[in-house]
Amino acid sequence: MCASYESRFSITELVRAFEAAGLGLSLPGGLPNIEPVDEVRPTDRDRAVRWAASGEAVLSPMRFGFPPPGPKARPIVNFRSEGRRLANGERGGRCIVPVSGFYEFTGDRYPKTRWVFRSPDQPFLALAAVWRSGDTGDAFSLLTTEPGADVAPYHDRGVIPLARADWHGWLSGEAAETDVLKPAPAGSLIVEAAPRPPKG
């Protein structure tokens, strides 16, 4: 499953995409400077879009991954979507994580082969996610389901890129989970090998 992703798009591209989806994107504190990041990993700080009580989409800083459930456990970065009721509340709910690409790995030996999945025609993918507020602040976890045709050769689970027409319904809570949390259709992702740069 997806344990890291790429974040290389501009705030202008993000704002324009949400406007095209019929959503004004609220930016508390003004227009942020989003630096491009080649790989966002668990516990890294990033941004997600959540639904505010005021009825608008808000870009919010959050940590990638819910806190570990135990002292030796890892952060929860993927959250199985099947059979869940995911509602918005004061301390958590639905969100979207914009990524320019997400990574999957194949192979049984180190180093595994890293692959990056991107949109063929958009600057970023809008991944379905959930967020929670806790003692260490707000955090998000990416939702997963059965893999679509583009992901299936690389993994038996897949994150969920939302169609632009579903952004409002997902964020606001108006759309049922079963209507939007589905594998991406075949051909909606392009994939290429993404070897890590050599160390040193």
**pLDDT tens per residue, range 97-141:** 999 999 999 988 888 999 999 999 999 999 999 999 988 899 999
Element (H, E) at 11: helix 11-20
Percent of the chain with pLDDT over 70: 99
Domain positions in the chain are 5-193
Cβ count within 10 A of residue 150: 19
Percent of the chain with pLDDT over 90: 84
> What residues pair up with 51 in beta bridges, in sequence order?
57
Q: Please work out, in degrees rounded to the nearest 5, the angle formed at the alpha carbon of residue 159 by the alpha carbons of 130 and 176.
A: 55
Q: Does domain 5-193 have CATH number 3.40.50.720?
A: no
Question: What does the pLDDT read at residue 199?
Answer: 72
- In 3D space, the residue among 60, 64, 41 whose CA is nearest the CA of residue 51 turns out to be 60
pLDDT digits (tens, 9 = 90+) for 18-50: 999 999 899 988 888 889 999 999 999 999 999
Across 166-193, average pLDDT: 96
**pTM for this model (two decimals):** 0.95
Question: What does the pLDDT read at residue 53?
Answer: 87
